[in-house]
Chain A
Amino acid sequence: MWQLLQIELLKIFRKPRTYISFGAIAIMVIIIQIALKSDGRSYIEFIVGGLKDSLDIPYAHILNGYFVCFIILNLLLIHIPLLIALVAGDSIAGEANMGTLRLLASKPVSRTGLMLAKFMATVIYTALLLIWLAFISLLLSILIFGTNDILIARNDALEIIRSNDVMWRYLAAFAFATLALTTVAALAFLLSVFADNSIGPIVSTISIVIVFTILSEMQIPLYDRTVKPFLFTSHMLAWKGFFYSRIDAGGSAIPGTIENIRAIGKSGLILVLYIAGFVSTAIFVFNRKDILS
């Protein structure tokens, strides 16, 4: 299995297409950082809304590396599934299109082993993409903007998390985001089994993510109970929960706490179930598939 995984990683990281995602993330993050560096005040005013007139807002302190990273994650984590689908959707269908799938499947390795190695390689790619995002959005932002307390907007309230209470929240958020994006990778991986070229699974994955995201965001009571709890997209944004602290009687955030850890755990479990379902279905289908490409 280890050898198969090494081979799959070699194939992913020798393919020029793989680096499009890393490049795209770097460009998007830098564009956001430049915008916030030049006109971050307007963005903060937009976040605090009407409070800017009643409060004396310390703009220079708020616009720090932690805060910029939080903004970047909010803006980008919705779009990164598209980049994940580029590689995961190509994993089987791309091989079928190139004609290498028949060569792989006629080698003395089990089809299940081959599929698991391919999926694990996709998970590693997803994790590396998130590490890269963390590196440039968190570390680069800290270098450019420095560190300070972080201001989080929650419904109609503002919460301040102390700077010494932030880093562990980011680590947890990135770990959860990896799980969320692995769900998208697993979906693209499943769809890849049915196709003979990678365009189909990539477009289908993106379409499903868009439709599910729209359904997740819709404020329609009927869907709130019947549909939303079962959509993986409803649980993908649960990483934000790591930045919501419990509030003490005085209205201040309690350091080192998470408001609703059970909700985050439940979302994580649902995503794990989705991943297991997608991957085991992909293996089941692939094991029974006649390879005619």
Chain B
Amino acid sequence: MSLVTVSHLTKKFRTHTAVDDLSFSVGEGDVYGFLGQNGAGKSTTIRMLLTLVKPTEGHIELFGMDLRKERKKILSQVGAVIEKPDLYKYLSAYENLSLFARMSGSKISRKELYTQLEMVGLGGRVNDKVRTFSQGMKQRLGIAVALVHHPRLIILDEPTNGLDPQGIADMRNLILHLSRHLHKTIIVSSHLLYEIEQISTHMLIIDEGKKMVEGTVASLMDPAKTLVEAEVNDPKRAANLLEPTTWMHFLQKTTNHVLIFQLPKELVPELNRELVRLGIEVLSLQAKTSLEAYFLSLTRSKQYVAAFTD
């Protein structure tokens, strides 16, 4: 069952398109990794899921309900940490947690709040002001705030940003604990592939607001498969021609310029022959060794451009 269904989501800020016709769905119990470099559109998408940003176009359904119509009902079942969780620095950990628990509409006992703080390792700092906390402790308190009302869906936007290696490891273990033992559905965004690979069951790569690749982590990270970018004269027509063929299930994405396939390396020459047979002009065919190489190619090309435009 899909807990989250996003259809043709688009967000434009004046002339800039931050999210462009994005569609995906998240099943119950999934840990859905949202991967993309900085500025790819991850945070804007997450903010649209949380009603912080209004979509220009598209539709969002959570728990089978329309987000626009059932906002309160939906958000009462969602917990989120959006970038670094800035809480009220002049209040204690307990006061912050209690305040947000009340805002979530849940009646939670003092004992339960203490238990929640224990769970994230802040049992000894319950009455200390947040201004005295390290970034890692604030992050853990943010997680407690996200979990305090027992949500079905947890959304974590770049949860390891600013954490030291121990903090990153703790966060990873916490996400795995929430998924495996508490059976929570989690959407987690990151710009680090290895981070998503370690904690997610599913993954979506987003670039310039567009979906590039989506699938289970197991299949996308399968070392036996390779990603192939086929530059053709008319990608949309090519995708239509491929539809009735067995090659369709290898097709990951059609962009304005290329078709992206994930398939065993030995099939690459055969793919080329099939495209030519269908009358598609193949301008180039580039095999990436892995998803990591593909993701790095996206990232590196942007960094290269940025280095010359800064």
Scan B131-164; emit 1 where CB is below 8 A from any A CB, else 0.
Answer: 0000000000000010000000000000000000
* CB proximity of B60 to chain A, nearest CB, Å: 14
CB proximity of B225 to chain A, nearest CB, Å: 37
- Please tell me if the beta carbons of A106 and B88 are within 8 angstroms of each other in the complex: no
In the bound complex, residues from chain B placing their C-beta under 8 Å from that of A108 are 71-76, 103-105
Is the beta-carbon distance between A99 and B84 smaller than 8 angstroms?
yes
Interface flags, B44-78, vs A, CB<8A=1, else 0: 00010011111000000000000000011111101
Q: What per-residue 1/0 map shows which CB atoms of A160-202 lie under 8 Å from chain B? A: 0000000000000000000000000000000000000000000
CA distance A3 to B106 in the complex (A): 12
A165 to B142, CA, bound (A): 58
- Cβ of A106 and Cβ of B84 under 8 Å apart? no
Q: Is A291 in contact with chain B by the CB < 8 A criterion?
A: yes
Residue B80 at the A interface, CB < 8 A?
Answer: yes
Q: Which residues of B contact A110 (CB under 8 A)?
A: 71-72
CA of A109 to CA of B50, assembled, Å: 12
Bound: A110/B95 CA distance, A = 22
Classify chain B: how many residues form its interface, as a range: 20 to 34
Distance of A291 Cα from B87 Cα, bound (Å) = 16
**Residue of B with least CB distance to A114:** B103
Question: In the complex, are the beta carbons of A290 and B88 less than 8 A apart?
Answer: no
Chain A residues positioned under 8 Å from B95 (CB to CB): 10, 14
- Whether A104 sits at the interface, judged by CB under 8 Å, is yes
Asked whether A11 is an interface residue with its Cβ less than 8 Å from the other chain, the reply is yes
Q: Which residues of B contact A100 (CB under 8 A)?
A: 86-88
Task: Specify the chain B residue showing the minimal Cβ separation from A110.
Answer: B72
A105 at the interface (CB under 8 A from B): yes
B274 to chain A, nearest CB (A): 45
Which residues of chain A are near B74, meaning CB under 8 Å? Answer: 108
Checking A15, A16, A106, A290 against B75 with a beta-carbon cut-off of 8 angstroms, the contacting residue is A106
From A10, A98, A104, A292, contact of B47 by CB (8 A): A292
Verify B75–A107 contact, CB threshold 8 A: yes
Report the minimal beta-carbon distance from A11 to chain B, rounded to whole angstroms. Answer: 7
- Which one, A7, A15, A99, contacts B103 given CB within 8 A? A7
Structural contact, B104 and A11, CB atoms closer than 8 A: no
Pairwise interchain contact A98-B72, C-beta atoms closer than 8 A: no
Task: Report whether A14 and B90 are in contact in the complex, using a CB–CB cutoff of 8 Å.
Answer: yes
Contact call B88/A98, Cβ cutoff below 8 A: yes
Q: Is A103 an interface residue (CB 8 A)?
A: yes
0/1 per residue, A90-115, Cβ < 8 Å to B? 00000000111011111111100000
A window 1-18: CB within 8 A of B: 3-4, 7, 10-11, 14-16
Extra 15 A-B pairs, beta carbons < 8 Å, given A108-B104, A109-B103: A7-B99, A7-B102, A14-B90, A16-B90, A98-B86, A100-B86, A103-B85, A104-B103, A106-B50, A106-B75, A107-B104, A108-B72, A290-B47, A291-B47, A292-B53
Q: List 9 A-B contacts (CB under 8 A).
A: A3-B103, A14-B91, A98-B89, A99-B84, A103-B80, A108-B104, A109-B72, A110-B72, A290-B13
